[in-house]
Amino acid sequence: MTSVKVFKIKGVYKSGKRKITFGKEIRALNKEDALEELYSILGSKHHVKRNLIKIKPKDITVITNPDEIRNFVVRTFTTEDDLKIPFKK
């Protein structure tokens, strides 16, 4: 059974004439799934085409220490064992 890992991905994308740097923490099973999720997020939220996103292989790292995770939602899903989803009545 494979476990879910947290990947930190850094890169640059082009928006008009500007280059914008980004860093994103993503939960995924492997590196390819994490990259696919990143392309999906940047495409839907920032309307960036995949060919305008530049990521070097060394800028994709696995975070093993939960204290290094900065994103609250990712950290919560990584560290909490018994999450309960609140239901609306």
DSSP letter assigned to residue 81: S
Residue with tokens 């995770």: 69
What's the rounded Cα separation, in Å, for the pair 87 and 89? 6
What's the rounded Cα separation, in Å, for the pair 74 and 6? 8
- What tens digit of pLDDT does each residue of 15-47 get? 889 999 999 999 999 999 999 999 999 999 999
User: What is the reported pLDDT for 1?
Assistant: 58
Q: In angstroms, how far is the first alpha carbon of the chain from the final one?
A: 36
CATH of region 5-79, choose from 3.10.110.10, 3.10.20.10, 3.30.750.80, 1.20.140.90: 3.10.20.10
User: What is the reported pLDDT for 86?
Assistant: 67
